Structure 1
Amino acid sequence: MSDSTDDKPAGPQRLAQSQDTPTSQPANALREHRDTLQVPTRAELLDKARAFLNSPQVQHEDIVAKRRFLTEKGLIPEEVDVLLREVPPAVPLVPPRTYPQPPPSKLPDLLVGVLKIVSWIAGSSAALLLIYFRFLYPRISQTYQARLSLKTHQRGLLDRLTRSLEDLKSAQRDTFAILPKPELFKDPKYEKCHTLDDLILRSEGRHDVPNITVLRCALEELKARGSSTSTEEIFATLGPKLPQLQATEAQQYEAELWETLSTHYCFQKDEVDGTTTWTFGPPTPSPPPPLLSSLTELHDVLPKSRPQPGRFQHTFQALSEFTGYITSQTYTTTFRAPGMGLSTPLGPGEEELRREIRALKGLVLNRRSFMPNVPRPASASALPSAHSAVDAP
């Protein structure tokens, strides 16, 4: 590189010396002095030109443009050629990638399809709504109103029934408060039972017999046999006869019987020689209230009402007798001998009745024979004319 740079200024100097005349020695000396002053500056210019040509931005430019640019910067053609030869060959440019032309956008078609779908959905919805509100909704609303009114009516009836039941319960409560209390020791169903066998036969094996009745029958049975009515005898008598005392709940039922025997006021306890005996003594019934006594006396004093015969009792009896007589005369067999009259003579009343029956029968037959042929009415409007034709003589 230094050799080339040293040779380059030598070329111009030789050209300048060849062109100078021998007579101009001072001018040559001045020119040499100028060249010596310009050597460092030109070397810098060549370095800049070399760096310019090696820059990647300029490597791919046209050579003619490079030569023109360097010439404009003050370089001679020989220097430009040397610099261009020093530049390494440029790497060929990679051709730009070519892409196929993109297809046209499908967005308009997509928007049109969406618009069609939306319009179809809107139209179908409008048609369905029209059909619903025109035909279905009135029937649904009528059915709903009918069900609602029926439900309201049923609820009103239920409220009325509830109020009636509440009023009935309150009336029963008020009425039962003034009525005499029932006597628990009296059981109408088992009142005639005086032994345990009668009680078991009457109850038919049921377990709903009151404890008071069971203990009463046991005491009466022991008393009838002349046995002791102690607690041990009572439960010894009850054990083999009552199925409740033989089941798994025997202890519980026995405890209930003992509680009834020891706490109920109908059973009195007596201590005789250290032995506890029991007797059944129902309390004296309280006298009936004055009002009930007065009503009972009034009922006994009033005369008994007799059944009154009906208004048409006599008519019914007469018709029954007449029907029986006609039946007997209709189904009796009479024998008529040839040349002779009736086998049994009839009374004047019977003869008169027979003549009237025959006359009535003849009248009916004649009317049916001479009745005009009336066509059958086709509608209800012809009924009056048909009735008038039948009633005509």
Structure 2
Amino acid sequence: MSGEDAQAPVADATTHGASAPDAGPQTAPEANATSLSAPAPEDDRRELLDRARSFLLSPQVRDEDIWAKRTFLAEKGLTDPEIDGLLRELPSRAQVPQVPPRTYPQPPPSRLPDLLAGIMRITGWIAGGSAVLLLIYSRFILPRLARSYSSRHALITHQKSLLARLTASLASLKEAQSSAYSDLPRPDPFREPPEYRVCRTIDDILAVCEDKEKIDEVPEYSLVRCAIGELEREGKDVTTGALFERLRAKIGWLETAEGIVYQERLWHTLTTASPFTPSNPSNPSSSTWTYTPPTPPPPSALLTSLSTLHSSLPQPVPAPRYQHTQQALADFTGYLTTRAYASPTFLKGSGYGIGGAAEDGGTKVEEEVKREIKALKGLVLNRRSFMSSLHRQPSQPALPVPPTPGG
């Protein structure tokens, strides 16, 4: 440190001490510096030296440069011999008690190497396990997955081929059916049940279905047809609003939740059935509707051929009224004749004009023949009564059954 640099802090300290007389208690070096700055008379030379000695022993100045101390003391009015004496009185640096350096605990050793080593070991284990898993997957699992995939692919391809063959077969079948069934009669899409076919108004339909629980069993086509015909006969415009207002006025059930669904069905029938023609096809809701009865389809060639064949065949002759009864009596007579000539003891002791006691063998035959005659007679009588009641006219009474002998 140069003399000027050392002198600067001392001068600053002296100046600070002089310029702030009202400050708080001053430290010892500042007080010494202030006391040295005051002019000392010759009789107070000893007091000046004591102050200079105290100044030099202060901790703030003790470690300053010797030349800075000398210059500062000279400026305060001390002579060189006095300055040399004061400097010789200063204790040497070896005699000054040294403040032991502050000791700090040693930091623990870094664990970064162990951490890096653990990370490397974990990485090695993960890499080794991944390699083992990859080997197992490539050796055992991947071939099975490949075979399963190829099997599924082959199965899907086979199913697609079968489906294509089925589609082609169905298309050929439809073509063959359309060509083979071209002569068959087509069903009438607007065919109505017989009880609704004769209806002309909504009231007629309600009279037909009055025993039904719900009106939704009525065909939509018949109800719309009758409503349009009723409005046309009254001379009103058959608009969509007028048509549905008439239906709701006549059928209160249409206002319910189920009736709204039925109204949608009526609207679908009105807009899709060809006999109902709107005046503005692009806007059916605001159109006027007309009903054109559908023309029956012409008879097919098959029906014409069947009619011709039926007319060319001879008509069967109706059987006589009592043909079955006569045939049964004839069969019964033939059976009696056969049994009479077959057994010589048939009429002995039977009460038919031939007397005499019957032998044991003849009695058995007679009893058997009697049982058969009674069974056949019952069958003939029942058949005769049934056929008589079946064939007689309502005004003609049934013929009485004549009593049979021995019955």
Q: TM-score, normalised by structure 2?
A: 0.33
Q: TM-score, normalised by structure 1?
A: 0.34
